Amino acid sequence: MSFDLKSISKKYFETFSNKDIDGLADMFADEVCLQDWEIVAIGKTAVLLANENIFSSVDTIQVSPTSLYCEGNAIVAELKICVDKKTNLLVVDIIEFNEDGKITAIRAYKGN
């Protein structure tokens, strides 16, 4: 794979933090799937809708990667997520990419 997956991942977290649905749509493969501790969404339309629901439920969301690990076509990211400038979450994302550098899967796990 000839893409810089760490750079793409950082752009994804920035785009997510900006609540930029169109930007996310450009980053997702058609077959993208999302799974976290509350959501399972399969397909680009469903994943974008899930993101829109997250964005509408908060005033602000800031995703800050603290560590990124690359292995093959995947990134493991340790994240601090600040919601509405008060709630801090520790999350690990596993993000998989296709040969075009598009995101095909996001699995998110929340810490305590």
Domain ranges of the chain: 5-110
Residue 57 has a CB neighbour count (10 Å cut-off) of 10
Confidence band for 35, pLDDT divided at 50, 70 and 90: very high
pLDDT tens across 80-89, in order?
Answer: 999 999 989 9
Predicted local confidence at residue 92, as pLDDT: 98
Show the tokens assigned to 33: 């799937």
Q: Mean pLDDT throughout 46-71?
A: 97
Predicted local confidence at residue 2, as pLDDT: 67
What's the predicted TM-score (pTM) here? 0.94
Determine which helix (DSSP H) or strand (DSSP E) holds 46, and give its type and residue range: helix 44-56
Residue 31's nearest CA partner among 100, 87, 90, 88 is 100
Class of domain 5-110 (CATH, top level): alpha beta
Predicted local confidence at residue 1, as pLDDT: 52
